[in-house]
Amino acid sequence: MLDLGHQHAITCSGEGGFPTSEAAVFSANFLEAASCQKISPKHTPKNRHLGYARVSTYGQTLYAQLAQLRRAGCTKIYREKATTARPDRRALLKLLTSLAPGDVVTVTRIDRLARSTFDLFAIVKLADVEHDLIRTRTAEGRSRAMARGQHMGRPSKLTDAQKAEARKRRAEGATLAELARSYGVGKSTIFRLA
């Protein structure tokens, strides 16, 4: 096992690599999606099992790799016909930008993903750079929205008038439960008004 000390795993299983029962796991920090707005942990199933299949030439087929990745339990498989020498492997870039914490990427052989350990580390670095760009763009967008006076987060369940009235009633002795029932909100919403 090659442990890079991060949150994602690349598994290599099957022919020419490691037997499926003894899958080698390579950890890689592709994205720290907790701060990534493109793929929110709220909307992304945890621990997705993703596959990546690649053939070098157009005369080759992906059938064997796809079957192997399905048997390994991959729910989504990114596929492409491109040599590892090409820097513009679009399916690989899509895969890397879609990763969230806990995701597992499976390849049939490690050479399907990278030509060498150096290339593997370059892919990990590329993913880190992509994540930094996403984080920067998100922060810039948030700053511009706040400068325009846009409210960030969910809209309030109570109007300003209702908030003022609830504060007044609370000061007069109304309980959190009574106020929450009367406004149709949770007690925690009323509690936060204080």
Q: Which residues are catalytic?
A: 56
Burial of 36 (0-12, 13-18, 19+ CB in 10 A): buried
DSSP structure string for the chain = -B--SSSEEEEE-STTS--GGG-EEEEE----TTS-SSS-TTTS-TT-EEEEEEESSTTS-SHHHHHHHHHTT-SEEEEEE--TT-S--HHHHHHHHH--TT-EEEESSGGGT-SSHHHHHHHHHHHHHHHHHHHHHHHHHHHHHHHTTPPPSSPPSS-HHHHHHHHHHHHTT--HHHHHHHHTS-HHHHHTT-
Count of CB atoms situated within 10 Å of the CB of 3: 10
